[in-house]
Structure 1
Amino acid sequence: MHLEVVAPSPALADYVEYYGVWEEDAEDDVPLGAPVLPGVVNGLNVLVGRSVEVAAAGEGSRVQVAALAGMVGMVTWQQLYQRQASQAGVLGIYFRPAGFFHLFGAPMAEATDPTLAVGRLAGQFAHELIERISQAETNGQRLAAADELLLRQLHCQQPMPNAIDLVADRILHQHGQVNIEALAHDAGLSRRQLERRFLTEVGAPPKLYARIVRFNHVLQLLAASPAPSWQDIAYRCGYYDQAHFIREFRFFTGKSPSNYSLVDSDFAHFFWAR
Structure 2
Amino acid sequence: MKLQLPATALSPYVSHYWLSRNNRDTEHLVLPDGCVDVVYGVGGVTFGLAYGVATRKSFCAMTPDFHYLGICFRPGQSRHFLKFAQNHLTDSSLSITGLAGLSPESFADEIASGEAFQRLDKALLDWVARQPMESSAVDVALATIDRCIGYVSIENVASQVGVSRRQLERYFLRDVGISPKNYARIRRWQYTFGLLRSRRSMALADIAQVAGYADQSHMSRDFRYFFGQSPGSVAVDAFVQEQVASSYYAALERLHRHTTSQAYIGDLI
Q: Which residue of 1 aligns with 2:156?
A: 182
Give the conservation status (yes or no) of the 8 Å contact 2:46–2:104. Answer: no
* 1:214-233 to 2 correspondences below 5 Å: 214-233=188-207
**1:125, CA displacement in angstroms?**
3.1
* 1:124-143 to 2 correspondences below 5 Å: 125=99, 128-136=102-110, 137-140=112-115, 142-143=116-117
**1:158, CA displacement in angstroms?**
2.1
Work out the CA distance in 1 between the residues paired with 2:99 and 2:49: 13
What is the alpha-carbon root mean square deviation over aligned residues? Answer: 2.4
Q: Which residue of 2 aligns with 1:200?
A: 174
Which deviates more from structure 2 when the two are superposed, residues 244-253 or residues 219-228?
219-228
**1:213, CA displacement in angstroms?**
0.9
Pick closer, same or farther for the CA change 1:25–1:17 going to 2, 3 Å: closer
Q: Which residue of 2 aligns with 1:68?
A: 47
Work out the CA distance in 2 between the residues paired with 1:270 and 1:101: 25
Work out the CA distance in 1 between the residues paired with 2:252 and 2:223: 14
Work out the CA distance in 2 between the residues paired with 1:19 and 1:191: 33
Q: SS of the counterpart of 1:197? A: helix
Q: SS of the counterpart of 2:71? A: strand
Q: Deviations over 1:204-260 (max 9, x none)?
A: 110011001111111222232344532222111110011111111111122222334
Q: Which residue of 2 aligns with 1:248?
A: 222
* 1:144-183 to 2 correspondences below 5 Å: 144-183=118-157
Which deviates more from structure 2 when the two are superposed, residues 240-249 or residues 102-111?
102-111
Give the share of equivalent positions with the same residue, in percent.
30
Pick closer, same or farther for the CA change 1:43–1:205 going to 2, 3 Å: same
Give the conservation status (yes or no) of the 8 Å contact 1:15–1:103. Answer: no
**Runs of 4+ displaced beyond 4 Å:** 270-274
Q: What is the count of residue pairs matched by the alignment? A: 247
**1:127, CA displacement in angstroms?**
6.6
Which deviates more from structure 2 when the two are superposed, residues 199-208 or residues 87-96?
87-96
1:42 aligns with 2:22: no
Please, which runs of 5 or more residues in structure 1 have no aligned partner?
Answer: 51-65
